[in-house]
Amino acid sequence: MPVLVMKFGGTSVATLDRIRRAAKRVGVEVANGYDVIVIVSAMSGETNKLVGFVDETSPLYDAREYDAVVSSGENVTAGLMALTLQEMDVPARSWQGWQVPVKTTSAHANARIEEIPTENITAKFAEGMRVAVVAGFQGLSDENRITTLGRGGSDTTAVAFAAAFGADRCDIYTDVDGVYTTDPRVTSKARKLDRIAFEEMLELASLGAKVLQTRSVELAMRYKVPLRVLSSFDEQTDEAGTLVCAEEEIMESNIVAGVAFSRDEAKMTLISVADRPGIAAAIFGPLAEAGVNVDMIVQNISEEGRTDMTFSCPINQVKRAQQAMDKAKASGEINFHDLVADENVAKVSIVGIGMRSHAGVAAKMFAVLRDEGVNIKVITTSEIKVSVLIDRKYMELAVQSLHDAFELEKAA
Ligand code: ADP
Ligand code: ASP
Ligand code: MG
């Protein structure tokens, strides 16, 4: 029988009632003739609670134990979903990541899926089981330790299962009815897109649109998995939601497809480092080793052989970054006067494949921000995106005015 992957995010399984509602959706697809792999998240708020426990217990925690703790939320929902389906007379059972096993790298808290053996689940389908409920977000490393895939990782579990099982489609059920031109919580003018290109979705996700985890989009693109984002609350039709698909499958699109933002940024400046060959390697090598995800980088012009180096990283990695830099300074690898952390910044980005063939998009973005009196601290660009770092208090204003200026509420 054809296989379908259905993923339910935290809000879609937040209560027993919602689990029942989700299970009914699964029942519809079973009746449609699919063997279904259901990927579940933890009940909404659970993962945050678990992360909080870990942070409070050990601020610079051992990531292996972080994974042992934070992966557990998904186990509860997997069991409850299987029980709910059984109550509806749908033959179902649950799997935790290690039981499949979902084999991952050992990069704890941010592991990548390497392999998903299909035999186990396929054999159960052959025996008449109709639904395999799999705990999302978690896997098993070569060292036999539980791993997690980074926040939002259940999306990636879902797409990886869809690829491994050659599923007809991967449906991501969430609390919005599709991918919008920007987060609908920030402007009511946000417009739902019927389709969005993989490349654009990849950029939006990596720049902060958490509707899909970046890695899930990467996998869908690589393995050509038809990926759909839709609401677990609305009645569904075949045309519901947003299809994430190849660029060629989209007839018309705006030059700017969407605006993304991320609140969780910090700007770090190393004051007065020696401007010499190898200085960037000496700074960013230790940061990488410490697991700091550096995003934007600017090096100032130098004066008398010394310069300032600014970079941005996720706000929850500031301590790690400080520690890594202090260590490098103590060992004599680098020398700096001071390390200043600005934790009141946000990143706002515009994304669109139309930018490849249209000049002036970045200039227009800067003019819009100027007109709103928003100061830009750092800029980065690529072929299909422009990102700026600004004061966090202007983030919503920037998103709304860019959304207006690029007329995203109107379809092309
Ligand atoms: P789930 O728990 O189902 O995985 P998430 O909270 O991870 O759900 O992702 C859904 C949320 O993503 C929405 O509630 C919305 O606020 C946010 N979001 C951010 N950017 C977008 C966007 N461009 N389109 C739709 N939703 C977005
Ligand atoms: N529960 C995990 C998280 O909140 C994984 C997920 O929901 O995708 O990040
Ligand atoms: Mg999510």
Q: What is the pLDDT of residues 123-162, one digit of tens each?
A: 999 999 999 999 999 999 999 999 999 999 999 999 999 9
Domains in the chain and their CATH numbers?
Answer: 3-175 (3.40.1160.10)
State the 10-residue block means of pLDDT for the chain, 412 residues long.
97 98 97 98 98 93 96 98 98 98 97 97 97 98 98 98 98 97 97 96 96 98 96 77 94 92 96 94 96 93 93 94 97 95 98 94 97 96 96 98 97 84
| Ligand 1 pocket, residue 258 CB under 6 Å | yes
Phi, psi of 302, deg, nearest 5: -100, 155
Kindly give the pairing relationship between strand 131-135 and strand 35-40: parallel
Q: What percentage of residues in the chain have a pLDDT greater than 90?
A: 94
pLDDT of residue 302: 87
pLDDT of residue 247: 92
Residue nearest to atom 21 of ligand 1 (CA): 183
Q: Is 267 annotated as a binding residue?
A: no
Residue nearest to atom 4 of ligand 1 (CA): 9
pLDDT of residue 102: 98
| Ligand 2 pocket, residue 47 CB under 6 Å | yes
pLDDT of residue 238: 63
pLDDT of residue 237: 65
Kindly give the pairing relationship between strand 35-40 and strand 227-231: unpaired
Q: What is the pLDDT of residues 168-204, one digit of tens each?
A: 999 999 999 999 999 999 999 999 999 999 999 999 9
Distance, first Cα to last Cα, the chain: 39
Q: Among candidates 82, 154, 87, 159, which has minimal Cα distance to 124? A: 82
pLDDT of residue 234: 79
pLDDT of residue 236: 66
Residue nearest to atom 25 of ligand 1 (CA): 179
Lookup: tokens for 108: 């704890």
pLDDT of residue 201: 98
pLDDT of residue 251: 84
| Ligand 2 pocket, residue 153 CB under 6 Å | yes
241: DSSP letter: S
Half-sphere exposure of 379 (CA within 13 A, CB side): 10
| Ligand 2 pocket, residue 10 CB under 6 Å | yes
CB of 365 closer than 8 Å to CB of 347: no
Please provide the average confidence, as pLDDT, over all residues in the chain. 96
